[in-house]
Amino acid sequence: MNLSPVYYEVNIEVQKDIYEEYMAWLQAHIQKMLAIPGFEKADLSEKNARGKYQLVVLYQLASKDYLDQYFENHAPLMRQEAFTRFGEKVKIERRILEA
């Protein structure tokens, strides 16, 4: 098992008209993510740009193996939940940063 920490960055662009509803949902979503094995912490940052809000959630995981388990066992459901609720009003990009 690879024991080096890994970071999972989620970049989110939220339309202004749903920002408050999305932020409330996102806070709960982050807590769900932190309950998944291997997720150790999450940092949320934000900025307002041209009528849209840009958010970044940076998750720290214990290892890449835990991230792979997340992708295999949890990611489809977690992603679908956001899309079902907010659809095209939210654009998300993700990337993996390895130490």
CA distance 27 to 50: 23
Average pLDDT over residues 75-95: 94
pLDDT tens profile 10-43: 999 999 899 999 999 999 999 999 999 999 999 9
Average pLDDT over residues 58-77: 96
CATH code of the domain occupying 6-98: 3.30.70.100
Q: Please report where in the chains the tokens 């920002």 appear, as a residue.
A: 19
Residue 48 contacts by C-beta under 8 Å, 6 or more apart in sequence? Answer: 54
The helix or strand, by DSSP H or E, that contains position 97, with its residue range, turns out to be strand 90-98
Single pTM value for the model? 0.91
Cβ 28 vs Cβ 88: under 8 Å: no
Average pLDDT over residues 70-82: 94
